[in-house]
Chain A
Amino acid sequence: MSGLFKDARFFLLLAIAAAIGVSLAAGSFNRYYLGIAIDVGINIILAVSLNLINGHTGQFSLGHAGFMAVGGYVAAKMTLLYGAALFLPALFVGGVVAALVGLAVGVPSLRLRGDYLAIVTLGFGEIIRVVFQTSEFFGAATGLTGISKLTSFAWAWGLAAVTVYVVACLVNSTYGRGFIAVHDDEIAASAMGINPVRYKVTAFVIGAFFAGIAGGLYAHHKAVISPSGFDFIKSIEIVVMVIMGGMGRTAGVILAAIILTILPELLRGVAEYRMIIYSLLIIGLMLTRPQGLFTISRKK
Chain B
Amino acid sequence: MLFTGITVTDAAAALGEDWNFLDERVISRFMAFKPVGHNIFGARAITLDAPPVAREQEARTTKKRLLELVKTRRNFEIGPEGIVQVGRDPMCMHVTCAGTPHRTEFLFGYWHINDRDEIILPLPPAASAQPAHLLIVMGLPKKNETDRIGWYCLECANLLFIRELVTGESGFSKFWQFERAVVSEFNSDEAHHTCKQCGHVNPLGYCAFPNLDTEAERASRMQW
The answer to whether A and B come from one shared complex is no
B residues in contact (CB < 8 Å) with A:
none
A residues in contact (CB < 8 Å) with B:
none
